[in-house]
């Protein structure tokens, strides 16, 4: 059983309202290496790998800047297939003098940075699932220092060539203002399992993954206001096996569309 196949409930598309569509499109094309799937004057859809996952950018003129205390996006997490891919990406962004953070989470190694409009991004690779430690239905995770010098020994002569074909949206991490409401939405309604205990946070998954979605109250204490006219995370598509397509407003204030289109699932 794979972690992002047609049996796994997962995020398939993330939509952001942006101030500068050209700038943001260029960033995601040139830094993350996401090719443009479609575009017009107001919207760009970028492919994340070749399996069907997408990132959608919507131009919003004269929108509202959200408060850091509002619920919404913590980070979009792009999953790379190999250690070599992560090493190549680390070297690539280091050469551009981008400010990045890093974390060894035991189940994965991750790099962190923001896009030009402040949206959080994680780029990571998973360790083999056989090495993950589970106890009583919970997976052990932590945040330790990444040994970047050892990681860089895995880079290849080809270097970073853009998002690999087998790249995908690995997970979505949210800022929430109400963990009880988040539990009801993502676990009781959408069927994710609670798989890790962290203070003021929920980590949730299907198929025994470390997490497909997470939500925390580390920064936020209020819902997103006026979603359609606010910058940042505005809409998420979630694949759920055998679901009837429907849209609802998440407790955080953005919209979620649930669907069962297996064409948008990367692990066929």
Q: What is the mean pLDDT of each run of 10 residues along the chain (268 residues)?
A: 93 99 99 98 98 99 97 99 99 94 98 98 98 97 96 98 98 98 98 94 98 98 97 99 98 98 93
How big, in percent rounded to 5, are the helix, strand and coil portions of the chain? 20, 40, 45
Output the pLDDT for position 197: 83
What's the CATH code, domain 10-264?
3.10.180.10
Question: What is the number of helices (H) and of strands (E) in the chain?
Answer: 4, 17
How many whole angstroms separate alpha carbon 205 and alpha carbon 214?
9
Domain boundaries, the chain: 10-264
> Is the distance from CB of 263 to CB of 53 less than 8 angstroms?
no
Structure tokens at 202: 């929920």
How many whole angstroms separate alpha carbon 143 and alpha carbon 159?
27
Output the pLDDT for position 237: 99
Burial class (CB in 10 A: 0-12, 13-18, 19+), 239: buried
- Residue matched to tokens 């289109």: 261
* Through-space distance between the first and last CA atoms of the chain, rounded to whole angstroms: 11
Output the pLDDT for position 268: 76
pTM tops 0.85 = yes
How many whole angstroms separate alpha carbon 47 and alpha carbon 54?
5
């Amino acid at each position: 059983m794979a972690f992002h196949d047609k049996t796994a409930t997962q995020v398939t598309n993330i939509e952001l309202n942006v101030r500068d569509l050209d700038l943001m499109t260029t960033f995601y094309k040139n830094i993350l290496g996401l090719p443009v799937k479609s575009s017009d004057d107001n919207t760009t859809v970028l492919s994340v790998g070749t399996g069907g996952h997408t990132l959608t950018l919507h131009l919003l003129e004269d929108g509202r800047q959200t408060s850091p205390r509002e619920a919404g996006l913590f980070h979009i997490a792009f999953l790379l297939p190999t250690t070599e891919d992560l090493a190549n990406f680390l070297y690539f962004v280091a050469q551009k003098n981008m400010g990045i953070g890093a974390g060894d989470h035991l189940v994965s190694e991750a790099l962190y940075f923001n896009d030009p409009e402040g949206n959080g991004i994680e780029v990571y690779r998973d360790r083999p699932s056989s090495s993950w430690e589970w106890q009583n239905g919970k997976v052990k995770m932590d945040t330790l220092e990444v040994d970047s010098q050892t990681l860089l020994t895995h880079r290849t002569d080809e270097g970073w060539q853009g998002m690999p074909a087998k790249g995908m949206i690995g997970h979505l991490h949210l800022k929430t203002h109400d963990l009880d409401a988040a539990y009801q939405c993502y676990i009781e309604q959408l069927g994710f399992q609670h798989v890790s205990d962290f203070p003021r946070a929920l980590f949730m998954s299907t198929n025994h993954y470390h997490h497909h979605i997470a939500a925390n109250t580390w920064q936020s204490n209020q819902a997103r206001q006026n979603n359609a006219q606010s910058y940042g995370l505005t809409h998420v598509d979630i694949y759920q096996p055998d679901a009837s397509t429907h849209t609802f407003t998440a407790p955080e204030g953005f919209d979620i569309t649930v669907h069962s289109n297996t064409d948008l699932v990367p692990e066929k």
